[in-house]
Amino acid sequence: MTTTPDPETASETKSGPQGYRYLFLSLHLPALALGLGQGITTPVLPGFAESFGVGAGLAAMVFTAQLAGGVGVSIPAGYAIDRFGRRQILIAGPLITAASLFLTAFATADSFALLLVYRVIGGAGQQMWMVSRLTVIADTGGSSRARQITQMFGVQRAGMLVGPLLGGFAATLWGATIAFVMHGAVALIGVIPSFFVIRESAPRRRTGSTGTGDSSIGFSWKMLLVRPIPILFTLQFLAALTRGGAIGGGTVFVFAVYAYGTNEATLGVLSSISAAIGIPLTLVAGQIMDRYGRKVAIIPGLLVFGLSMAFLGLIAALAWPFAAFIAAFIWMQVIAAYLSGSMQTLSTDLAPAQARGTFFGVGRMIGQAGFMANPLSFSILTALSGFATAFFFLFGTAAAAASVLGFMLKETLQKPNDKG
């Protein structure tokens, strides 16, 4: 009996240089640019915020603002992806990000409020790229979804290996604004190939207006309230809240700057070392998830990451030396690398084919809300009770996330003999 190839697994049938070249130009190169740019600016941001004369709590808002932009644009971006196609949003995201970075470098006018506005715009651009990219992987990834997603994050971390060194030393030599110019330039260079190689992957645009991917057929917002989707969204929020301070350093860098007076170059070196160690773990996690299951890979990672937060809490409470912070920071970043792409993989397993873009828009909004809640809770708890309380709170959210996945969500990896 002859069967028609599943469009979702079409990408797996590609072989030879053309398939690999397309994957590199459409997925790996933009991810590399995203990681490199993020790495360039992240170690610079706490000191840059401090230069406006704000305290640690307000300084953490530079991370909150970027995440807020991602939260605000997630659902509109997801709807636009289903309505107009993946390609347009995939290209527009990096262009918007680059514009926000150039504005940060040249148009802040010594205004911390403007800096926050530009961070919101940049976060929106990054989220547009991520939602559209995840939708394309859900369209075409087939049984290698976890590997494609972790490869994307692994390549992004490879960019973060070099980025902090470039940004930290460039800021030390020429001032903080040069880092934002470099980040903007990298974002533009990374998106150029997408103009020429990105192909539309939306099912309804491949099969016509009556195709199964038409977002007007069979999709209802009530679908997002049917089990296990609410459990998945709860897990995404808790996991993002837990790991938000580890993305490129984030609020943990704020702790380093205010508790130890650490400079940009030192933070850049630490980030690069951590990224180098974590890249292989990111790729290994994808292999484990595709072969043995999602839960086997993710639950231990969440628990071990939570223990790194508890260790940071002890460091803050007992005023341990900077060497202890270095150990905790590398521990945290390595496990964060291992978990990279884990929530996105679960999402691609459960995304409804009728409206994947909208689904990912909602999911990324919830995830970004969790990431945003990290610096927000960190700011509030630090102001009320100190750094130790903020870190112990994140240990609790890690344990809660592992519990939700372990006891409330079934394994989502579908093997051939599971399909009946």
Closest by CA to 272, choosing from 186, 377, 158, is: 158
CA distance 101 to 67: 15
Cα torsion through 278, 284, 285, 287, rounded to 10:
160
C-alpha distances (whole Å) from 174 to each of 44, 49, 97, 181, 351 are 12, 17, 22, 12, 46
Residue ranges of domains in the chain, CATH in brackets: 22-201+222-414 (1.20.1250.20)
Residues constituting the chain: 420
Neighbours of 260 (CB within 10 A): 13
pLDDT (0 to 100) of residue 11: 40
What is the average pLDDT score of the chain?
A: 82
What crossing angle do the helices spanning 112-140 and 61-84 adopt, rounded to 10°? Answer: 40
Contacts of 184 (CB under 8 A, 6+ apart): 37, 97, 98, 99, 101, 102, 105
The model's pTM is 0.73
CB distance 343 to 235 below 8 Å: yes
Neighbours of 6 (CB within 10 A): 10
Highest mean pLDDT among 172-181, 244-253, 365-374: 172-181
Whether residue 406 is predicted with pLDDT greater than 60 in this model: the reply is yes
Give 11 or 37, the one with higher predicted confidence. Answer: 37
Whether residue 296 is predicted with pLDDT greater than 90 in this model: the reply is yes
Whether residue 203 is predicted with pLDDT greater than 70 in this model: the reply is no
Closest by CA to 240, choosing from 82, 404, 350, 357, is: 404
Average confidence (pLDDT) over 365-375: 83
- Angle, CA of 22, 282 and 365, to the nearest 5°: 80
pLDDT tens digits for range 135-152: 888 877 666 778 888 888
C-alpha distances (whole Å) from 32 to each of 153, 159, 275, 359 are 9, 5, 13, 25
pLDDT (0 to 100) of residue 201: 64
pLDDT tens digits for range 153-196: 788 877 777 787 788 888 888 888 899 999 999 999 988 888 88
pLDDT (0 to 100) of residue 417: 55
Tokens of 77: 């971006």
Please compute Rg for the chain using Cα positions: 21
Closest by CA to 126, choosing from 92, 103, 153, is: 92
Residue 219: pLDDT band (50, 70, 90) is: low
Neighbours of 403 (CB within 10 A): 15
Per residue, the 3-state secondary structure of the chain, as one string, reads: CCCCCCHHHHHHHCCCHHHHHHHHHHHHHHHHHHHHHHHHHCCCHHHHHHCCCCCHHHHCHHHHHHHHHHHHHHHHHHHHHHHHCHHHHHHHHHHHHHHHHHHHHHCCCCCHHHHHHHHHHHHHHHHHHHHHHHHHHHHHCHHHHHHHHHHHHHHHHHHHHHHHHHHHHHHHHHCCHHHHHHHHHHHHHHHCCHHHHCCCCCHHHHHCCCCCCCCCCCCCHHHHHCCCHHHHHHHHHHHHHHHHHHHHHHHHHHHHHHHHCCCHHHHHHHHHHHHHHHHHHHHHHHHHHHHCCHHHHHHHHHHHHHHHHHHHHHHHHHCCCHHHHHHHHHHHHHHHHHHCCHHHHHHHHHCCHHHHHHHHHHHHHHHHHHHHHHHHHHHHHHHHHCHHHHHHHHHHHHHHHHHHHHHHCCCCCCCHHHCC
pLDDT (0 to 100) of residue 340: 86
Q: Is 172 exposed, middle or buried (0-12, 13-18, 19+ CB in 10 A)?
A: middle
The residue type at 368: Q
Share of the chain above pLDDT 90, in %: 29
Tokens of 146: 């976890």
What's the number of CA atoms in the CB half-sphere (13 Å) around residue 399? 10
CA distance 352 to 241: 25
pLDDT (0 to 100) of residue 10: 39
- Angle, CA of 63, 386 and 329, to the nearest 5°: 60
pLDDT tens digits for range 12-41: 434 344 466 777 777 778 888 888 888 888
CB distance 351 to 360 below 8 Å: yes
